[in-house]
Structures are given as C-alpha cells and as structure tokens.
Structure 1
Amino acid sequence: MNILYIIYAVVFMFSLLMGFLVMPRIVSISIHKRLVDLPDERRVHKAPCPRLGGISFLPLALMSVFLFNGLCVLVLGASVSSTDTPTFVRMQFCGMGAMLLYLIGEADDLVGVNYKAKFVAQLVAACLFPLSGLCLNNLGGLFGIHQLPAFVGIPLTLFLVVYITNGINLIDGVDGLASGICILTFILYASMFIFLNHPVFAAICLSILGVLTVFFIFNVFGGKRTGLRKLFMGDTGSLTLGYVISFLVVHISTFNVHRVFVMSGAFYAALSPLIIPLFDIVRVVYARYRDRVPLFAPDKRHIHHKLLRAGLSPRGVMVTLLLLTVYFIGLNALLSHYVSATWVLSADVLSWVVMHLAINRCIYRTNRLRPELAIRYENPKNTIPEKNKFAL
C-alpha cells in the first residue's frame, strides 16, 4: 500500500479523535456561559442549543494539516508536502480570509453582527483570491465560453466566493443539512485531489472531513436518547466552511496549460454538491424581490422550510436533501462525459424545477390534510423581524 494513503488515514483519524475530545467541552462551556441558540419563529428546534460548534473547525483542521506536513517530511521527504510558490501563496491568502470570516462568524454567534458588516468581510476575504493570483480563467465551454480575460474572471471570482459562502450559511437551517452537504462536498473534493495527485489539498479536505463527521454526529444524534448534547455550528462554522469550499472550487477548476491538473468538467464536478444551496439562493432572492420585502430579511422561504411545509420531519428534510445532493453529483458526473457544460447546467435547472413542482404539489395536499401546518406558515411573505445586531 502506498505510504501516502496511510498518512491520509492518520490525518483523518487525528481530526476525528480531536473532534470527539473537543466537541463535548464546547457543549459544556456553551451551556455554562449560556451561549445558546434560543428558539424563535424561524427556528426548527424547540429548546436552547449550544451554537459554538463551528469554533472547532478551523483550529482542528489546521492542526491536522500541520500533522500531515510533518509526517510527509519525516516519512517521505519534504518534496511530497511542499508545493510550488504560487500555490503556497494562494494557501496563505486563503488562510487569512478564512481567519477573517472565522472571527466575524464568532462575533455574530456571540453578540450578533449586522448583515452589511458580514457582507463587507466576505468581500474583503474574496479579494484575497485574485490578490494571490487565483481567479477563474475558463468556464469550460458554458454557453460556448472557454478562456476568460482577467477583467471578467476577477469579478466572477469575487461573486463566486461570496455566493458559495452565503449558500452554505443560509442552508444551515435543519440538523445535519449544512454539515451533511459539506461532508459530501469534501468527500468528493478529497477523491478528486487524490486522483489528481495533489496531496496537500487532499489532506485539507480530509482534515475538515474528520471534524465535520464528529459535528454531524452531535448535531443530528444529540438528544436525551443518546446522551449526547445537540450542538450547532453557527456562523463561525458555516462562513468558514463556505469560504474554504469556494477556495477549493476555484483552485480545482482553474485552467492552467502548464500543469496537468484540470480534468474534464472539473468546475461543474466541484459545483455539483453545492447545487441545492446555490440554486436556492436564486429562488429565495427572486421571491423576496417579487413580494417587495428586504432581500436580506430572514424568512421561511428556503427549501428546507418548504419541505417542512410539505409535511416532512426535520430528519426527513435532511435525508431528502442529502439524497438529492448525491443525485446532482451523479447526474453531473455522468452527463459531463457525453454533453457540453451548457446541457449539464440545463439538466440541473430542469431537475430543480421538477423538484419544486413536486414539493409544491405536496404542500398543497398537506395543507388540505393538516391545516395546522398551513396556519403555521400563513404569513404570505414569510418574513420575520430581525433581531438587533451589533454593528462592527
């Protein structure tokens, strides 16, 4: 067996073990300091729940990556863990941006941060990508477009980073949903980087995957029956995860003729596990604009709210959306070998529309059979007054 695969396994197990050691302490501290997420009109949970699970993601992932680099130097030699200078610079800037959003998310979880301040922080973090030399320069044939000039690629990169970061943040509304989608995403990315012989980035994915797996167990299975305390990731976790995922998406899809790195359809393969949160943002923003409500106002329009209105339990919503994520991954992987990127996107949009038509039909039937659900969501604009936020 290749010794590198053993190191991958050690790194993943180390992250997993550290997660099991740290998560219970986070729960205890959160409860002792009353750092809990209180139920309200928009929340699904009915009891206060610790919301600082995300503070463990970045530190534990960094510890695991450092362990990987150290093992590579000791066992295999520095050449395996070292990267070329441009990639090294990109990783440093990514670390800066991740730390910025980590701190903003932590402030939001502790005292609340205005959405404008969060947006500015996301934009600043996104600007670090082109500053480090990383930006989209090829769309892989979408709408017949291949190579992109810098004046198009840089704004598109900034948009994509903010888009993905907010997508992960906004889909975090049901136990196990955001973490489950991220787990599927990092499994896919780790496989792609291992296949492409990019060990450092594979180690990053496996490091985050280990701690995310532990969080998923606490988040989904926490309760009186299991003896585990439920834990939420909060904005600290969702913003950090979204930013790291956006970095990996742009990196894995960057076209470079000097390196055999990009495989066919890499950009769309990288985006495939994110289709549900990314498409849902478009639908929700359009619905808010149509109903003349603030675009950034919290509401109950997201896809997980729709599935709850259709009569599914929170656990059922999570399982359904994770299975749909697997469907989109498989669909894009299959179609990318036979049709162009434009047709792949068309198939994704068609699947999305059919899915929502089916959900709307289920909501109509459920409202007739269970009037209490219709009463719960009787506000036609589904708006919720936003709590006061601390202005950074």
Structure 2
Amino acid sequence: MEIILILTALILSFSLVLVVVPPIIRIAKAKHLFEPFEERKVHTQVVPPLGGVAIFIGFIMSSIIATDGLRFESFKYIIAGVILMFFIGLKDDLMVISARKKFIVQILSAIILITLADIRFTNLHGIFGESNIGYLTSFSITLFTMLAIINAFNLIDGVDGLAAGLGMLAAFVFGVWFYLTQNFHLSVLAFALLGSLAAYFLYNVFGHRNKLFMGDTGSLITGLLISVFVIYFNEINLTTSKEFVVGGAPAVSFAIIIVPLIDTLRVMTIRILQRRSPFSPDRNHTHHRLLTLLHSHLKVTLTIVGGNVFLIAVALGINHWGVNVNLQLIIVFLLGCILAMIPSVILRFKASRQKFRPAKA
C-alpha cells in the first residue's frame, strides 16, 4: 500500500509539471515575464524564471494526494513553509526584492517548522563530544542549518539542470532511506519533490521553445524541503532499527548536500577576501569554472552530480567502517573542498602554460 502512495507521488508530480509548464511559458511570453539579462549570467537569451511555479504545483498537489491516510502531523506546517517560500521567491523572480526581505521570510519559515512542527536537531551524535542538547542550542543550530541549506541551493542555481540535479539526488537518497526505515510519509514528500524536479529538469536542460529557469521560487522551495529531510534523517537515526541505522548520520547527510554548501562557503570566502559583500554576485562558482573547461551545461551538471555521488559513497563507506563521526565530517569536508578546487587549479595551470608558451615566428 505504502509503495503505491510513494509511486503515486512520483508519477503525479512528474506528470503535473510536464502538463503545467507549457501554459506557464505561454503566459510568461504574453505578459513579458522574463528574468532581466545580466552580463554575469551564462545565458544569452531571455528565459522565463517561472520553473518554480511548476515545481510548487507538482509538489503541493502530489504530496497532498499521496499522503492521504498517512499520519503526518507536521505536514501542514511544512506546506505553510513551502507556501511562504513560493510567494517570496515568486516576488523576487518577477520584481527583484532586497536580500534582507528574502532572508526575513526564510527565517519566518524556519521558525514555523522549528517551533510549531518541532522539526529540529535534538542530538549532535557525538560531534565535539556532545550528544543531547538543550532547546535553545537545538533552535539555534537548526535555524542556522535550514538557512544555510536554503541559501546554498539558491546560490548553486547557475547552469542548466544543476540545482535540479542536486535536488533530485538528495531527494532520491533520502526518499529511499525513509522508505527502508518505514517513514513512508517522508518518503512520499521526497519522491514528490523528485518527480517535480525531474520534469522541470527535462524542460530546463532539453527544452527549446519551452525552456524555463527554476528561479528563486524553485530553489528556495527545494532548499527548504531538503533541509527538512536532513533534520529528519539525523533525528530518525537516533531511534531506527539497527538494520538501516547510519551511525555517522551528520557526516552522511552533509555528504548528500555538500556541493551547494561547499560552493557557497567558497564563493563567500573569496568575496570577503576581496573586501566585497559576501552576497554580491559574480562568476566565481565552481560551475562557472567548469563551464569554461567543458563548454556544456549538461556536462557541467553531470560532472558535479557525479562528484556528489562519489562523496556520498565515500561517506557511506567510512561510516560502514565505524570511523568516528568527527573524523568522518573532516574527511568528507576536505574531499569536498579538494573536488571544488580542481576546476580553478586546471584553469590556472592552462593559463600559466599559455603565458609562457613561446610565440610562433
């Protein structure tokens, strides 16, 4: 019965997004709802940034229908958070609002989930020698984690298919694990997100007349839901059966979402060192560097998602060997940093070779 609900969420969300994208694009073209062209962006054409509207419709409709009959007390608060992300993201896509206003709404959504739905970290799994934590510490760590993941997915949306590809990977891994541990309500949500992102991915990467971008609407919704999955993954691992328990849950969940987090940390560090605002736009993201090397959005997306799969496999491997959770986190973090730096190192090497190459007579 539960597998039918999960498949319903996947198929229905995928189908809904496939159906609603063409009319959304027709409306966008008729009303001239296009993302303003900017020099730093990697596209040379105006494209509607309304993919998040389709993702929202697909996720909301399929998750409401597929969770019917399942006990899920936090569901209404998750939907409330998603709706807040939808409206602030849509306003930013169509009108452009200040980062401060967008951040305030993100905080409000996170607070709703933490306080009303009680979706929060209650245990650090031995990180820094700490386990059970008080409510204030729990609230602070959870709020920071949610905001970090939401904004990381917002910032990683720089080339076709990348944010969707990373979101699909995370939703699939969490969705399968939730199913194996019989948390079917969470698996439904994960596969509803997976189906919505998969259909959007087809239009975003392979679309011509029907091409559209995810926009802030889609990336904020995706980031919020992934942050919820991360918290539930860590909390459920405290009580789940030994057969599917992940001892180093913080390290494994970090590996699942490491690409956007490392990229955000990297670009913000560069901006601060250059004495600029950490939120100022530029082309220093890893995907921009890879695009210079590979000259293809799809190749960049597949390369980065493939690297993410590798890091997840490494995290699961060292977790299976029973490595201390702190060491697991360090290994995953260092590997993530090394992989993120490779494109820049290659570009510098090629530039130095070009500089010292003797001129032809």
Asked if these proteins are the same fold (TM beyond 0.5), I'd say: yes
- Bigger mean CA deviation after superposition, 6-15 or 173-182: 6-15
After superposition, the C-alpha distances for 1:238-295 in whole angstroms (9 at most, x for unaligned) are 1111111111211221268677596433333333221011011111111111111112
Residues of 2 paired with 1:234 and 1:330: CA distance? 30
Q: Decide whether aligned partners of structure 1 residues 263 and 319 sit closer, same or farther in structure 2, where only a CA change above 3 A counts.
A: closer
In structure 2, what is the Cα distance between the partners aligned to 1:4 and 1:130?
A: 27
Secondary structure class of the residue paired with 1:51 = coil
* Partner residue, 1:95: 79
Out of 143, 147, 152, the residue aligned to residue 162 of structure 1 is: 147
Offset from partner CA, 1:16-46 (integer Å, 9 cap, x none): 2111111111111111111112432111111
Aligned to 1:153: 138
Contact 2:161-2:301 at 8 Å conserved across structures: yes
**Quick one: distance in 1 between partners of 2:286 and 2:60?**
33
Structure 1 counterpart SS, 2:131? strand
**Paired residues of 2:93 and 2:216 also in contact (CA < 8 A):** yes
Q: Is 2:224 the partner of 1:239?
A: no
Once residues 330 and 246 of structure 2 are traced to their aligned partners in structure 1, the CA distance between those partners, rounded to angstroms, is 21
Q: Which moved more, 1:20-29 or 1:173-182?
A: 20-29
In the alignment, which residue of structure 2 is the partner of 1:208?
193
Which residue of 228, 234, 257 maps to 1:253?
A: 234
Q: Secondary structure at the match of 1:333?
A: helix
Aligned equivalent of 2:71: 82
The alignment partner of 1:130 has SS state of: helix
Quote the Cα distance in structure 1 between the aligned partners of 2:337 and 2:18: 40
- CA offsets per residue over residues 75-120 of structure 1, 9 Å max, x none? xxx4xx124xxxx1x3322222221111000000111110010111
* Correspondent of 1:286 among 269, 272, 276: 269
- CA gap of 1:255–1:60, structure 2 versus 1, over 3 A, is closer
Equivalent residue runs for 1:225-374 within 5 Å: 228-254=209-235, 263-310=246-293, 312-338=295-321, 339-367=323-351
The residue aligned with 1:50 is 48
Quote the offset at 1:179 in angstroms. Answer: 0.2
- In structure 2, distance between residues paired with 1:263 and 1:238: 28
Letter in 2 for 1:322: V
Residues 46, 362 of structure 1: CA spacing in aligned structure 2 closer, same or farther, 3 A cutoff? same
Matching residue of 2:180: 195
How many residue pairs get matched? Answer: 351
Which residue does the alignment assign to 1:20?
18
Kindly tell me: are residues 40 and 237 of structure 1, through their superposed partners in 2, closer, same or farther at Cα, counting changes over 3 Å? same
Confirm or deny that 1:62 pairs with 2:60.
Answer: yes
CA contact under 8 A between 2:251 and 2:332: conserved in structure 1? no
Return the letter of the residue paired with 2:213: F
Report if aligned partners of 1:253, 1:262 keep a CA contact under 8 Å in 2. Answer: no
8 Å contact kept, 1:169–1:242? yes
The whole-number CA distance in structure 2 between the counterparts of 1:67 and 1:94 is: 15
SS in 2 for 1:345: helix
Letter aligned with residue 296 of structure 1: F
Structure 2 residues without counterparts, runs of 5 or longer: 356-361
Counterparts of 1:257 and 1:217, CA distance in 2: 37
Separation in structure 1 between the aligned mates of residue 340 and residue 168 of structure 2, nearest angstrom: 24
Aligned CA distance change for structure 1 residues 336 and 235 (closer, same or farther; 3 Å): same
Computed over aligned residues only, the root mean square deviation of the Cα atoms, in angstroms, reads 2.1
* Residue pair 1:174, 1:318 contacting (<8 A) in 2 also: yes
Identity of aligned residues (%): 30
In structure 1, give the amino acid aligned to 2:231. Answer: V
Aligned residue in 2 for 1:36:
34
Q: Distance in 1 between matches of 2:5 and 2:110?
A: 32
Tell me what 1:382 maps to.
Answer: none
Mapped to 1, the partners of 2:240 and 2:308 lie a distance apart of 30
CA distance in 1, matches of 2:341, 2:196: 36
Query: How far apart are the structure 1 equivalents of 2:347 and 2:302?
Result: 18
Contact 1:177/1:318, CA 8 A, preserved across alignment: yes
Aligned with residue 102 of structure 2, among 107, 113, 118: 118
C-alpha distance in 2, partners of 1:62/1:6? Answer: 18
Letter in 1 for 2:228: F
Partner Cα distance (1:256, 1:107) in 2 = 37
Distance 1:204 1:356, change over 3 A: closer
Q: Which moved more, 1:257-266 or 1:324-333?
A: 257-266
Structure 1 residues 356 and 82, CA gap change in structure 2 (3 angstroms): closer
